[in-house]
Chain A
């Protein structure tokens, strides 16, 4: 029998990064929608024309109205999530380190986590006032619980062998926490942050439901109540951009802080 090539059968099942395909799909969808809205088989009641949304965004930026909305929203997002995330990391580390704290707080966190924070907004208005306080509180609480869960999970996942090593060299408790536990938990905490901050952005719209004159969320809600689809989608695009931006910021943090992993 003549010699044959052994057939190759090891292909596939190997995710590879294909640059540009995502952008291509995105552009294609936009062009498709543009065509549909221009041709008329997508009515102006169903979806706005992408170019009109672009024009609305451009007008927003040019008239400076974008900044009157983006400024308060960014402040709320930054202050709220900074409060929530730092408290969440602190308490998450404590839960990870101390059995009593864990026994006491894990059920509480499990009880708070699934509460739709939006439902508590009227209560927050009474507690923290209708102005910025209630908005900070809502975003803080929304980012707080997922951060706790991610943090104590990350602390739990720190290699116990490394901690034993630290103990075997007589390192102090504080040194072990600072030099072994925290850096070891950092990857888990950072990937938890991605989720927490996305939730923060989602809650931004909810936070601006009550008593906000300006803000991207208030702008979207107003556009929704006016059934102004161009502005609605312009607002949604801004939120998406905000999401991409935070994800990118965390990504660059990861690149810098977790260079040891790659």
Chain B
């Protein structure tokens, strides 16, 4: 019913192109599902939801939570979720190549000066001399799956140090943490709130920053189905606007810290509803603050980083050589950096 009335409204108003100018009520009660992980890096969506930015755009958002990035890409392709934020993985690229998904903007970025993803060594490996990424030669490097962002990072770091590592696929972040703690694998890289939490508990050692090896790394992107990108321009732009407002609030409160202490605490409280909800606030607060990384303004997308990632996938034989960044990205929505 909603779809029908919306279509009717669109017809009356003379097509989709005019919609963005019409402001909030144009998309009244558009239901959509947004895929998310319970990570601080997904905060922009949570903020947009909690502060009513989605509602302002007439979007009735429902979150669908996932355990890993990969299934989210599949859920977008199958139509079980409309929008999501996740790392560029081989699976996402393959789905884009099959005409199922499109990247429409950028989210989390590595930025010099902001605490970003950390390179970790297990305690056993650290004691055996793995005190800096330069000593990674021949070590077991944990990844979730082949073609995941962990694989990309590990590969780039090893290449920069001129060493080769062995990648151990362990499927889930939880399994990797277990394997790192017990010393079954030697090294890993992960977002700062997890890295600092583990290192703080003495379970692992931090031996480097990802930003030093992959500057301006576009870690996560906003993406949707090719169908939404091509035919639901109004709805997609509305989503990105609300998402960007959430990102702005988040950056101001926790990354640039220009909004003051109170705003920062409010932001942490808001995020705590979604992230580390099973932990007491005092404990969660530190992790959430630790995990704050820049979410790009206006969902800007760093195309050179995207290109670099695509090239790497191709060089590893993980995706077809014929895939171009145009097939992956619909650049008409967000500014490129």
Contact = CB atoms under 8 A, between A and B. Distances in A.
Chains A and B share a contact (CB less than 8 Å)? yes
Interface of A: 43-45, 122, 125-126, 129-130, 209-213, 218, 221-222, 225-228
B168 A225 contact: no
A225 B89 contact: yes
Given A125-B179, A221-B169, A225-B89, 8 more contacts: A45-B100, A122-B175, A122-B178, A126-B178, A210-B168, A210-B175, A211-B169, A212-B169
Q: Is the interface of A mostly helix, strand, loop or mixed?
A: loop
Nearest to B145: A225
B98 A130 contact: no
Contacts of B175: 122, 125, 210
Contacts of B169: 209-213, 218, 221-222
Contact of A227 (B74, B140, B185): B74
Contacts of A212: 169
B289 interface: no
A225 B147 contact: yes
Contact of B148 (A126, A218, A225): A225
Contacts of B146: 222, 225-226
B298 interface: no
Nearest to A219: B146
A125 B182 CA distance: 9
Contacts, number: 79
A69 to B, nearest CB: 13
A228 B94 contact: yes
B91 A213 contact: no
Contacts of B100: 45
Contacts of A209: 169-171
Which one of A125, A209, A226 has the highest number of Cβ atoms from chain B below 10 Å of its Cβ?
A: A226
Contacts of B167: 213
Given A44-B98, A226-B90, A211 B318 contact: no
Contacts of B91: 225-227
A212 B170 CA distance: 8
A225 B91 CA distance: 5
By Cβ-Cβ distance, the 8 closest A-B pairs, closest first, are A225-B145, A226-B90, A130-B184, A227-B94, A222-B146, A211-B168, A227-B91, A226-B147
